[in-house]
Amino acid sequence: MCAVILCKRKRAAIPYEIESMGIHLYSLEELAYFLYENVYMVDRRILGRRLFRWISEEIGDEGLAVRLEKGSESGIGLPNLILAILREVDYYTQEELNALSERMKLLATYQEQERLKLRADEYFINGNYQAAIYEYQKILDIRQSDRLGVEFYAHVWNNLGVCYCRLFLFYKASKAFRTSYQYQRDSQVLRSYVYSLRFCLSEEDFEEAMELQNIRGEQLSSMMERLEHIMEEAKEHFAVDADPAESLKGLRREYLRNVRNA
């Protein structure tokens, strides 16, 4: 889709916020576009009474709001609610709606863990690490599925570790990376484990931990040289800014964005 979407309906004075993604929607067309492009992200928290009230009060389409609420209360599935909204904007072709319907049918065949990972990965990509952590942990709280295989769980634990690192929770990150490595022996994950430990332990405790886990000699030296190189390249990010107050405001905004609740 590359055409401009013209908003024919009322523009909301108060946007509908997708809190977990930090997205503000001002029109029914924007809502439809979000649903079409992010169908695997949609759940009852997004398509619930808060949305129906917004459609009624801010968009002024009480009829659609009533139909959606009645459908939701009667147990109609999310796919039908999504399609009802998309049909209302009269933008998507029938072929596009049919294709979306097939995508939603395919998603329905996924195990719950797979659907949660799609959502968690999207949060991760968009920098909402707290929401991603919440979804990854939900996956791990579910009984492990043999059908998904060790690679799936290795990826979940690795991504969880990266999220913790981005929030400077290095000890939690090290535990996640270690678990990922136990599922699948990936050299990159092992490096991430070693680096996260280095950031959260004293030099003496770090050396002891490496010795206990038989990570030593050429292997450890190579990792430490690589870490030093990475730190050297990162020095430019630590330069003193001409306006530190403004930089702190920017860092605060970024931090708050990264820790939005799911």
Please give the pLDDT value at position 243. 65
SS3 labels along the chain: CCCCCCCCCCCCCCCEEECCCCEEECCHHHHHHHHHHCHHHCCCCCCCHHHHHHHHHHHCCHHHHHHHHHHHHCCCCHHHHHHHHHHHHCCCCHHHHHHHHHHHHHHHHCCHHHHHHHHHHHHHHCCCHHHHHHHHHHHHHCCCCCCCHHHHHHHHHHHHHHHHHHCCCHHHHHHHHHHHHHHCCCHHHHHHHHHHHHHHCCHHHHHHHHHHCCCCHHHHHHHHHHHHHHHHHHHHHHCCCCCHHHHHHHHHHHHHHHCCCC
Nearest to 220 by CA among 179, 191, 196: 191
Please give the pLDDT value at position 159. 97
Please give the pLDDT value at position 81. 94
Please give the pLDDT value at position 7. 65
112-258 has which fold? 1.25.40
Domain boundaries, the chain: 16-109, 112-258
Please give the pLDDT value at position 126. 85
Please give the pLDDT value at position 1. 45
Give residue-wise pLDDT tens across range 185-227.
999 999 999 999 999 999 999 999 999 989 989 999 999 998 8
Report the percent of the chain where pLDDT is more than 90: 64
> What stretches in the chain show pLDDT beneath 70?
1-8, 236-262
